[in-house]
Amino acid sequence: MALSEKKPVPQHIAIIMDGNGRWAKQRGLPRTAGHAAGGEAFRRIANYCRTLGVKYLTVYAFSTENWKRSEEEVSGIMKLLGKYLREALADMEKNKVCFRFFGDLSRLSPELQKLCEEAVKESKDYDVQVNFCLNYGGRDEIVKAAAAFARDVAEGIYKPEDLTEELLASYLYSADVPDPELIIRPSGEMRTSNFLLWQSAYSEYVFMNVLWPDFSPEDLDKAIEEYHRRNRRFGGT
């Protein structure tokens, strides 16, 4: 389906990759198998977004709350992440995708932190960008931005009254990245789960009753078609 030939696709799409655990449970598999299947779904959708001409894809990979899960599940997710990053580094020249990470990476293992740093460094000159929200929480991001601004005020760089929305946004993980026009949540859940709270102020949300490992290019087409049916007024009439 040549969706991009009909109407322009959103330049920034964000996805809450939800439903891996339920997908595995339905099949009598361990939750780690669901995360592995979810990783393949990400590859599939990331490649499709690139063919459509999407410039930015932001995905919720691991939240600040996900540490509450079992040690086995967290360990499995981190191993899958490391495997993906090593493969991505090996295929960097072929795929030509710019990597960014939104979140506090300091809690990750030194090996994973190094892989993230290498991915950012090696891909910085590519145009199509994938933003991985990793150990990320929307509230935590805003708190860290406010704290960074407060430190700059204490150092005399700014005055408190200098603060504007644009200035605060420059302290966010997503600085210099346009806000997402479309945010998709598969799995049938209808909540934002602390995802891009600042950036989503005027995003269009599409909730879909399909588990993330089963999410297909056709599902993405449906979400974009729904996006085009919306009347985006940005507070106007």
If you average pLDDT over residues 75-98, what whole number do you get?
92
**pLDDT of 160:** 98
Report the C-alpha gap between 6 and 216 in whole angstroms. 20
Pairing of strands 97-102, 182-185: unpaired
113 CA to centre of own chain = 17
Q: How would residue 36 be classed by pLDDT, with cut points 50, 70 and 90?
A: very high
Three-class DSSP labels, the chain: CCHHHHCCCCCEEEEECCCHHHHHHHCCCCHHHHHHHHHHHHHHHHHHHHHHCCCEEEEEEEEHHHHHCCHHHHHHHHHHHHHHHHHHHHCHHHHCEEEEEECCHHHCCHHHHHHHHHHHHHHCCCCEEEEEEEEECHHHHHHHHHHHHHHHHHCCCCCHHHCCHHHHHCCCCCCCCCCCCEEEECCCCCCCCCCCCCCCCCCEEEECCCCHHHCCHHHHHHHHHHHHHCCCCCCCC
Handedness of CA 101, 106, 108, 111 (dihedral sign): positive
Which residues are marked as active site?
A: 18, 66
* pLDDT per position as a tens digit, 159-184: 999 999 999 999 999 999 999 999 99
Residues 187-212 have a mean pLDDT of 96
Structure confidence at residue 3 (pLDDT): 57
Residue 4: band (very low, low, confident or very high) from pLDDT cuts 50, 70, 90: very low
Span of 20-24, 35-39, 93-97 with lowest mean pLDDT: 93-97
User: What average pLDDT score do residues 26-52 get?
Assistant: 95
